[in-house]
Amino acid sequence: MDQIMSLPFGVALAALFAIVMIRVNVTYWLGRGAIAGFAHTRFGASLQRPRAAQAQALIQRWGPYAVVLSFLTIGLQTAVNLAAGAARMPLRRYLPAAVGGSIIWALLYATIGLAALEAWLAVAAASPAGAGLSVLAVIAVIVWVVVARRRRSAAKSADTVV
């Protein structure tokens, strides 16, 4: 990471773009290959069922948007790109979405992301306990938000049942 941070901005941006494009395209093709292999098993007929066709149509229509938006998340990119490949999203729809998302991702990491990482690494070097506490604080906030949303959702569903 230090090597990328020491590069001029344009070069770092291009390097990050290339890295993410390679990663998402490998993931897409792994999904394509996995589904092709699955089609040759005794379970392959399940790919021809109406539900599978509906899922395929849904991904064909909304998949490119999901691909682009997945680059704004942490941990979802791989699943979305793998699903795009498994759903056999045509390259004419996948590649523009992957390029757009990769540009967004590279810009975020070349600006905000790497600066935040560098700041956190400086905190970790100065105070490992402080870095650990900051990670725990972030996890606590995430857990609190998730629990609050689930409670609101449960309360709404209980109100609609009554």
Q: How far apart are the first and last CA of the chain?
A: 55
Please count the structural domains in the chain: 2
Question: Do residues 16 and 78 both lie within one domain?
Answer: yes
Question: Do residues 95 and 134 both lie within one domain?
Answer: no
Residue 12 structural domain = 2-126
Question: Do residues 148 and 95 both lie within one domain?
Answer: no
Percentage of the chain surpassing pLDDT 70? 83
24 pLDDT above the threshold of 90: yes
How far apart are alpha carbons 122 and 150 in whole angstroms? 36
Question: Do residues 121 and 132 both lie within one domain?
Answer: no
Nearest Cα residue to 68 out of 93, 87, 92, 39: 93
Task: Dump pLDDT digits (tens) for 79-95.
Answer: 888 888 888 888 999 99
pLDDT band at 25 (very low <50, low <70, confident <90, very high): very high
Question: Do residues 140 and 117 both lie within one domain?
Answer: no
Task: Dump pLDDT digits (tens) for 93-135.
Answer: 999 999 999 999 999 888 877 677 677 777 778 888 887 887 7
Question: Do residues 61 and 78 both lie within one domain?
Answer: yes
Whole-number pLDDT of residue 47 = 58
4 pLDDT above the threshold of 90: no
Question: Do residues 91 and 161 both lie within one domain?
Answer: no
The number of residues making up the chain comes to: 162
